[in-house]
Amino acid sequence: MNQQNISNAEQAYRNLGVTPIINASGSVTRLGGSRTRPEVLEQMAGTARVMVNIDELNRKAGEEIARLVGSEAAMVSSGAAGGLLLQAAACIAGNDPVKMQRLPETEGMKNEIIMQTTHRFPYDHAYRAAGAKIVEIGNYLFNHPWELEGAINERTAAVAYLCAPFTSKRVMPLAQVCEIAHAHDVPVIVDAASMLPPRANLQRYLRDGADMVIFSGGKGVRGPQGTGILCGRADLIDAALANASPAQFIGRSAKVAKEEIVGLVTALSMFVDEDEEAEMAWYRSMAQRVVDSLIEVPGLNISLEHDGVDYLLPNAVLRLGGDWSGPSAQQVAAALQQGDPPIYLQQLRAPDELMVDPLNVTEDEIDIIIRRLREALTGNR
């Protein structure tokens, strides 16, 4: 976008009294998600004005996504969270209209979803919204195969597995969970919403045995912000589709618009074709600029982290613990948020850690971030 278009777009927000921000926090929905690809937005503007049969579009778009992912079947959901709702609905009600009609009332049905305690997360509300009862196994330190074996019974609908940064330690590996669950004919549903890129993850969880996997379309794929990619076994995707909009069942309140469906297919196709090394080199250069510019701040511990597991993109990580005698991480984060323009850093990892995630940051913005960080860290010294 040229500068004029950007300021017009900013004005639309300012007219509402909303202040545009710099999001150095990654694909956080609360801070805007990600920058939708311009080619996708352009196509959406056109396809929004052409009428089609949505059932047909859902099926055909799903076939194309399955081809791009390399899965048996796929569909577009309303965000990854809407995909979690459909995972649960598909495993609990299948495509039996009598059961589908009753959701989220699940008394007497297979309605238990087993989760390792370390995998409980705020988004599992979407499973409960479909009527699932979460059955926890293990504790915050350990999860054992015999605990999973022991929890499976005639009411088990699925085993849910979370793939997210900083969750891989202290859990049973996905392949092992799949092996145990499958021995009892129980499907394994995976939430990998934020795990793209790396592109290898499109295949990875399916290869480990997952029956259904959800990815967000509005995060690293940079598709329409409100979309998700649900992929996996054909019979389960069929059931998910049966429960989804436009049918008037539990998924109807998680509708996806036709232009979003087409837009996601295009975004995913562009994402798959992209040169990941070149993409990472760009993010690395942005993060490195932050590290190089602030390394001289006395006592500051700052480094570039990128391992494709916990740090999916190259990030500049500031650690304000130990010998650091300047302002706390909270004080620095607050100073940046309260300035003009407001800057949001990633603060999730540890109380004394701040991260600059380059996903949503432009070259101009990275210089603003560096200047404001230096001011906040050194108190303008």
Ligand X SMILES: *Cc1c(COP(=O)(O)O)cnc(C)c1O
Closer of 83 and 131 to ligand X (Cβ): 83
Question: Residue 225 Cβ, how far from ligand X at the closest point, in Å?
Answer: 8
Site for ligand X in 106-135 (CB under 6 A): 123
Question: Residue 55 Cβ, how far from ligand X at the closest point, in Å?
Answer: 23
Sort strands 133-137 and 156-162 into parallel, antiparallel or unpaired.
unpaired
29 is a site residue for ligand X (CB under 6 A): yes
Question: Residue 42 Cβ, how far from ligand X at the closest point, in Å?
Answer: 22
Tokens (6 digits) for 223? 């598709």
One character per residue 44-83, x = contact with ligand X (rule: CB under 6 A): -----------------------------------xxx--
Rounded CA-CA distance 346/298 in Å is: 22
193 is a site residue for ligand X (CB under 6 A): yes
Site for ligand X in 224-263 (CB under 6 A): 228
Window contacting ligand X (CB under 6 A); options: 86-94, 190-198, 349-357, 363-371:
190-198
Q: Which of 23, 216, 346, 360 binds ligand X (CB under 6 A)?
A: 216
250, burial (CB in 10 Å: exposed 0-12, middle 13-18, buried 19+): buried
Alpha helices in 20-116 (DSSP H): 38-47, 54-69, 79-93, 97-102
Closer of 81 and 290 to ligand X (Cβ): 81
Window contacting ligand X (CB under 6 A); options: 93-101, 186-194, 276-284, 299-307:
186-194
Rounded CA-CA distance 157/330 in Å is: 42
Site for ligand X in 81-110 (CB under 6 A): 81
What does the CA dihedral 366, 372, 378, 380 come to, rounded to 10 degrees?
130
What does the CA dihedral 4, 9, 10, 16 come to, rounded to 10 degrees?
140
Q: Which of 99, 106, 116, 191 binds ligand X (CB under 6 A)?
A: 191
Enumerate residues 6+ apart whose C-beta is below 8 A from 362. Answer: none
Question: Residue 79 Cβ, how far from ligand X at the closest point, in Å?
Answer: 3
**What are the respective helix, strand and coil percentages of the chain, to the nearest 5?**
45, 15, 40
Interface with ligand X (CB under 6 A), residue total 12
Sort strands 73-78 and 156-162 into parallel, antiparallel or unpaired.
unpaired
Give the residues lining the site for ligand X (CB under 6 A). 29, 79-81, 123, 164, 191, 193-194, 216, 218, 228
